[in-house]
Structure 1
């Protein structure tokens, strides 16, 4: 739904069939829309911090009950950028890893 087809093959290998079987009467679209808003905000923040979408991005999804889920997917460079950002944030809050 969000144009992240290039990650499809990687995600397909780790899918649990119980997590993608849709249940009758569950409003998956509402959960996905909520997750999409959060994913868009997170992608915006990552972009402001200099993290390229091709390196790390948030993707909207739902769980088996239709609840919003946001997944982070990326390459090693993206994860290293996130690690650096989280260490800087921890340091700014007076915490060390």
Structure 2
């Protein structure tokens, strides 16, 4: 299994400020989590998680259970419907 590991996906690069990039991702994840909560999606169902990629770029990942993903699907359908109505 060790032969399948890609060092570029987990090794840190010298000179990259991963902490600063993670803080950017954290702020974005916090904002998204607040928006999800305001829409009635429980954090236990779906949440945004701050991360960085191997090159140090900020990344926000969504993690959740099926119920949370279904809530997000309904919200996105409502948003898509609303956008068509406004045009």
Q: TM-score, normalised by structure 2?
A: 0.87
Which structure 2 segments of 5+ residues have no match? none
Q: TM-score, normalised by structure 1?
A: 0.78
SS in 1 for 2:84: coil
Counterpart check, 1:78 vs 2:68: yes
Cα shift at 1:18 = 2.7
CA RMSD of aligned residues (A): 1.6
Report the CA distance shift for 1:38/1:17 in structure 2 as closer, same or farther (over 3 A).
same
Counterpart position of 2:41? 51
- Give matches, 1:18-97, under 5 Å: 18-94=8-84
SS in 2 for 1:72: strand
Which structure 1 segments of 5+ residues have no match? 1-14
Cα shift at 1:67 = 0.8
Q: Greater Rg, structure 1 or structure 2?
A: 2
Aligned residues between the structures: 81
